[in-house]
């Protein structure tokens, strides 16, 4: 049997996999992205992205896939509403499917094919053998490097014995509707943090403009059915809303992994728990970690590195502590409920007060902190 050779096999055409493809090509190596779905899709996301994130991807905040910019954030706590009016920065809401398609076309331009309808069914981390199923049947490839960017708690790395299944309490079940209600204020991004509403999680409304908003929730309490709760919530909070589209998915709200390199395999993005567990934000981390993985693959294949461990080292240096802090706060809230949310708010309250006096300084400092590099 003939086995085709590939320099870098990338599993998954999300932000992590596509970023890895773009950066591997820039580093001068041949990569292929395998995507199990027949279409590129970013619908399963609220679409929040910081402007510095877009800049790092090489796009401006005025790109056509930026569908809205919000300048007020409201947090609904159990007994109060806290508002933050942004004066010098905006929260961006994107059409993630459009941006995913854009990243895929950057891959194609760099000679990195993105093969849709190609599902990886397994791999061997020592030999680099990888099996892919498409409409024509099963194919085996021999890869020098495998980048597994296949999303939350997927089974290939588990089947290969590299990682264990995530603990249930660390998997967030999400349900989100795109709704239409003309009275929705397009400038306000709102989060309901009451733990009676969303146990070990929160409800969000990210307006996309034109009277529409993505209203969703994530819960880590597996006794709760998030779809039912979000439907009831929308009926109460947005009584005239038309439900346009439903999506359901999971996010890993787990501690950062100690090991993300196993011989020829690097785990990236949601597959490596590279998500801020307190908020569930993972878009930018997926892109940034994909970039590191792609560059490291290039340097390794060009004999500038003895192995792939540089990827793990760099991620640890840049993200590990922040991811762990975020996870610890999420755990406090999961165990402590509303009291823990109020306690957290008490700790950050001075910043809200300071913001009234020095908005530019506070916003710049917060953004600098969020940039994590």
For binding to ligand FAD (CB under 6 A), which residues are involved? 11-17, 34-37, 44-48, 119-120, 149-151, 154, 174, 176, 216, 249, 251, 269-270, 275, 280-284, 286
* 121 vs 302, beta carbon nearer ligand FAD: 121
Tokens of 72: 């007020």
Cβ(298)–Cβ(28) below 8 Å:
yes
R_g over Cα of the chain = 21
* 39 vs 347, beta carbon nearer ligand FAD: 39
* 54 vs 301, beta carbon nearer ligand FAD: 54
Cβ(97)–Cβ(39) below 8 Å:
no
Is residue 224 helix, strand or coil? coil
Q: How far is the CB of 264 from ligand FAD (least distance, A)?
A: 17
Q: Where are the beta strands (DSSP E) in the chain?
A: 4-11, 31-34, 48-49, 66-70, 72-76, 81-85, 91-94, 114-115, 119-123, 129-134, 137-148, 171-180, 188-192, 202-209, 212-219, 242-252, 261-262, 265-267
Chain Cα centroid distance, residue 36: 18
* 140 vs 302, beta carbon nearer ligand FAD: 140
Tokens of 232: 């009831």
Q: How far is the CB of 36 from ligand FAD (least distance, A)?
A: 4
Tokens of 169: 């309490």
* 48 vs 298, beta carbon nearer ligand FAD: 48
What is the edge-to-edge ordering of all strands in the sheet holding 188-192?
Answer: 81-85, 72-76, 188-192, 202-209, 212-219, 171-180, 242-252
Q: How far is the CB of 281 from ligand FAD (least distance, A)?
A: 4
Q: How far is the CB of 124 from ligand FAD (least distance, A)?
A: 15
Q: How far is the CB of 52 from ligand FAD (least distance, A)?
A: 13
Q: How far is the CB of 165 from ligand FAD (least distance, A)?
A: 15
* 227 vs 299, beta carbon nearer ligand FAD: 227
């Amino acid at each position: 049997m003939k086995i085709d050779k590939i320099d870098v096999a990338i599993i998954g055409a999300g932000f992590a996999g596509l970023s890895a493809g773009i950066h591997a090509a820039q580093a001068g190596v041949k990569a292929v992205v395998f995507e199990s779905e027949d279409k590129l899709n970013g619908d399963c996301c609220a679409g929040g992205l910081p402007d510095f994130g877009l800049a790092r991807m090489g796009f401006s905040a005025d790109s056509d896939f930026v569908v809205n910019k919000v300048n007020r954030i409201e947090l609904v706590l159990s007994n109060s509403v806290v508002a933050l009016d942004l004066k010098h920065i905006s929260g961006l809401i994107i059409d993630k499917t459009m941006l995913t398609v854009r990243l895929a076309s950057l891959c194609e331009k760099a000679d990195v094919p993105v093969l849709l309808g190609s599902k990886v069914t397994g791999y061997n981390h020592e030999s680099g053998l990888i099996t892919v199923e498409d409409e024509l049947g099963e194919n085996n490839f021999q890869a020098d490097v495998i980048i597994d960017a296949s999303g939350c708690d997927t089974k290939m790395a588990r089947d290969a014995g590299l990682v264990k299944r995530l603990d249930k309490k660390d998997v967030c079940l999400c349900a989100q509707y795109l709704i239409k209600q003309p009275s929705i204020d397009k400038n306000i991004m709102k989060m309901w943090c009451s733990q009676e509403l969303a146990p070990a999680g929160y409800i969000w409304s990210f307006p996309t403009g034109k009277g529409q908003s993505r209203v969703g929730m994530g819960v880590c309490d597996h006794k709760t059915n998030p779809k039912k709760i979000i439907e009831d919530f929308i009926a109460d909070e947005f009584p005239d809303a038309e439900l346009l589209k439903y999506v359901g998915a999971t996010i890993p709200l787990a501690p950062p992994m100690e090991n993300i390199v196993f011989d020829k395999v690097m785990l990236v993005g949601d597959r490596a728990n590279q998500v801020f567990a307190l908020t569930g934000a993972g878009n930018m981390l997926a892109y940034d970690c994909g970039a590191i993985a792609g560059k490291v693959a290039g340097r390794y294949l060009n004999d500038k590195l003895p192995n792939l461990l540089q990827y793990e080292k760099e991620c640890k240096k840049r993200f590990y502590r922040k991811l762990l802090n975020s996870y610890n706060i999420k755990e406090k809230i999961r165990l402590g409920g509303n009291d823990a949310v109020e306690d957290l708010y008490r700790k950050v309250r001075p910043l809200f007060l300071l913001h009234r006096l020095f908005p530019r300084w506070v916003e710049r400092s917060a953004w600098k902190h969020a940039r994590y590099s």
